[in-house]
Amino acid sequence: MPGRGRDTEAAALRAGSRLPAFSGATDDGRPVTDVELRGHPAVLYFYPKASSLGCTLEAREFARHHTELAAAGVRVVGISIDTPGAQARFRSECGLPFDLVADAGGEVSQRFGVRGRLGLARRTTFLVDPEGTVLEVVRSWRPLVHVRRTLARFAARDPRGGPATGAASSAAPVSPDSDVSNASRGTERR
CATH 3.40.30.10, applies to 9-188: yes
> In 3-state terms, what secondary structure has residue 66?
helix
Longest dimension (CA), the chain: 50
pLDDT in tens, 14-72: 999 999 999 999 999 999 999 999 999 999 999 999 999 999 999 999 999 999 999 99
Q: How far apart are CA 126 and CA 95, in angstroms?
A: 22
Residues with Cβ within 8 Å of 26's Cβ and at least 6 positions away in sequence, in order, are 32, 84, 87, 99, 100, 101, 102
Per-residue pLDDT tens digits for 61-118: 999 999 999 999 999 999 999 999 999 999 999 999 999 999 999 999 999 999 998 9
Cβ atoms of 38 and 20 closer than 8 Å? no
Q: Where are the chain's structural domains?
A: 9-188
Our answer to whether residue 55 is catalytic in this structure is yes
Alpha-carbon 82 to chain mean position: 15
Of the residues 55, 96, 128, 180, only one is catalytic, namely 55
